[in-house]
Structure 1
Amino acid sequence: MEPRDVRAAGAVVTRKGGEVLLVHRPKYDDWSFPKGKLDPGEHPVTAAVREVAEETGLDVRLGPALAPQRYRMSTGRWKWVDYWTAKVVGSDDVTGYVPNDEIDAVEWVEWSAATHRLTYEHDRETLAEARPLRRKTRALVVLRHAKARSRDAWRKDDRERPLIRLGQAQSQRLVPLLAAFDVTSVHTSSSVRCVQTVAPYVDTTGWPAKLYDELSEEDATVEGVVDLVDTLLEAGESTVVCTHRPVLPTVLDALQVPEVKLEPGGMLVVHHRKGRVVAAEVLEP
């Protein structure tokens, strides 16, 4: 029986001026992107942000996803690395970085020089893929509410149907995922199960939630959804829109992205720039 793949995540971090962030590992004497193994039960998105912070001291927010790398390690096991583009939040100065046994150098390297500095061909391929996606984007996260009580077993107004324990756990796990995409604006259906889905993020960050009847199953209209989506695409911040499965096709149609199936607590992260969709990815809870 072949051993399980090693799962890891990282980011291609870029900044204005055409530079990319690289790290040097003394154990392997190689130059690569900041990355690392997932902790047990950790989502790759959360791991990517955490590993960049641990290896470089920089806090980042993620942009469009890149193709994952899969290669055989010297141990014979396969390694699967998920990558995203990323931008630094706050100062990007690494001159004060203190070397250690794991990472002894962190440098901003000009793009063409980085191509030659990187040790591995799979990293050079990832760098080339990241180049057209290096401009800063905003995220519009389309979120299906977390797992709620069964509709058949609920006798009251469906708008008041709450999350079950699994849904509450899913809503907690959404907090670092939404933070990874720098969500600072929260928009949700006024139905209880949607409000409860975004509540942990609102409570953790302090960003207030704006409630909309027009995002609920009962009151959603094409015109209302389109107007809201257009407004959010023009906004200068990353946002989350929490709604219901029957309303999702209208939201995705307004975004002009292909329809996807989202499980309870799942999200479609739509990356946009100047009102134009650049990339989109599905993230399951």
Structure 2
Amino acid sequence: MVPAGEIRAAGAVVLRPRQVLLVHRARYDDWSFPKGKLDRGEHRTAAAVREVEEETGVRIRLGVPLTRQRYLVGDRPKTVDYWVARPTGPDGVEGYVPNAEIDRVAWVDREEAPGLLSYDRDRSVLEEALSPARRKRTDALVVVRHAAARARRTWRADDRVRPLLASGRLDAARMVPTLQAFGVADILTSPSTRCVETVAPLAAALDLVPRRKPVLAEEDATPRAVRSLVRAEVDALSGTGRVALLCSHRPVLPVVFDALGLDDPRLDPGDIMVVHLRKGRVVAAERHAAHPGSEPAV
């Protein structure tokens, strides 16, 4: 859980060839990365994307996460989550209109940026973002455990059609901005109702038709078939910079993670694991809850 009184913020180190996007805050006369406080009930990934667009006019897609920053603002602790990010469309800032908060926005040469940044903590973030392990583009496979469903013990019909609870449907809707931040472009799901209902709000928001894969259902999954599917998807993603989402069930997910070379993180209902890949190999993984009421490990 988030400690009482803690300030939560999120932002991004936005890169384009040889340059990084910085903002100047008039009130503090400082140069930093675009970032800002989370709105009430907002997930940190959604906040990072929103803040970058609000402060610079540039729309982004999040890539790999960076080390969480913690420091004091007066006597209050502040936590800032950053990701490496890239523009998803036009990235020019020449038409930016200054305001009372951000009076300058600039693409700065990477070699010049450390000297322009006002804080040591930001220089540390930049150094990490520009390291070979972080700055190179990645693909991603987002693994989701379906949201909270009706209890098995109270369900008398075929388990394949067991639906989500009302709370599960709410969590499925809350996932949408969290997942949009990563630029999901393809959805694979178990055909069981509870998985189909979990991905339905995202599919509607992105105008995507989920691909129903029986091998991801509890009743039809075999370790060999699941591993084959996961590796085929990883191979298909490799080098494309695209992001796919896979939704399945608790008994199936350990095999999914094993195929990715990861230990089973034991996702709770509605939890999300974003697995960042380069050339088919995992370079980072981050876990998110379907809603921001809890703070899973990163």
In structure 2, the residue matched to 1:273 is 278
Structure 2: distance between partners of 1:20 and 1:38: 23
In structure 2, the residue matched to 1:258 is 263
- Counterpart of 1:281 in 2: which secondary structure? strand
In structure 1, the residue matched to 2:67 is 67
- Counterpart of 1:277 in 2: which secondary structure? strand
Matched, 1:32 2:32: yes
- Counterpart of 1:67 in 2: which secondary structure? coil
Task: Spell out the pairing of 1:118-267 with structure 2 (5 A cutoff).
Answer: 118-132=117-131, 133-235=134-236, 236=240, 237-267=242-272
Shift, 1:52, TM fit: 0.3
Structure 2: distance between partners of 1:284 and 1:233: 23
Deviates more, 1:90-99 or 1:227-236: 227-236
- Counterpart of 1:260 in 2: which secondary structure? coil
Letter aligned with residue 76 of structure 2: R
In structure 2, the residue matched to 1:117 is 116
* TM-score, length of structure 2 as denominator length: 0.92
Structure 2: which 5+ residue stretches go unaligned? 291-298
Task: Spell out the pairing of 1:30-109 with structure 2 (5 A cutoff).
Answer: 30-73=30-73, 75-109=74-108
Structure 2: distance between partners of 1:283 and 1:147: 15
Structure 2: distance between partners of 1:232 and 1:252: 13
Structure 1: which 5+ residue stretches go unaligned? none
- Counterpart of 2:202 in 1: which secondary structure? helix
Taking only the aligned residue pairs, the percentage that are identical comes to: 53
In structure 2, the residue matched to 1:10 is 11
* TM-score, length of structure 1 as denominator length: 0.96
Shift, 1:76, TM fit: 2.0
Q: Deviations over 1:150-181 (max 9, x none)?
A: 11111111111000011000100111111111
- Counterpart of 1:152 in 2: which secondary structure? helix
Q: Indicate if the aligned counterparts of 1:3 and 1:77 stay in contact, CA closer than 8 A.
A: no
Cα 1:3–1:199 change in 2 (3 A) is closer
Structure 2: distance between partners of 1:167 and 1:64: 28
Q: Deviations over 1:189-229 (max 9, x none)?
A: 01000000000111111111000111011110122212221
Shift, 1:25, TM fit: 0.2
Letter aligned with residue 251 of structure 1: V
Structure 1: distance between partners of 2:4 and 2:145: 35
Shift, 1:112, TM fit: 2.0
Letter aligned with residue 88 of structure 2: V
Structure 2: distance between partners of 1:198 and 1:175: 9
Structure 1: distance between partners of 2:282 and 2:81: 22
In structure 1, the residue matched to 2:293 is none
Aligned residues: 282
- Counterpart of 1:81 in 2: which secondary structure? strand
Structure 2: distance between partners of 1:15 and 1:208: 31
Structure 2: distance between partners of 1:232 and 1:190: 17
Shift, 1:3, TM fit: 6.0
Structure 2: distance between partners of 1:129 and 1:35: 17
Shift, 1:46, TM fit: 0.6
Structure 1: distance between partners of 2:75 and 2:158: 57
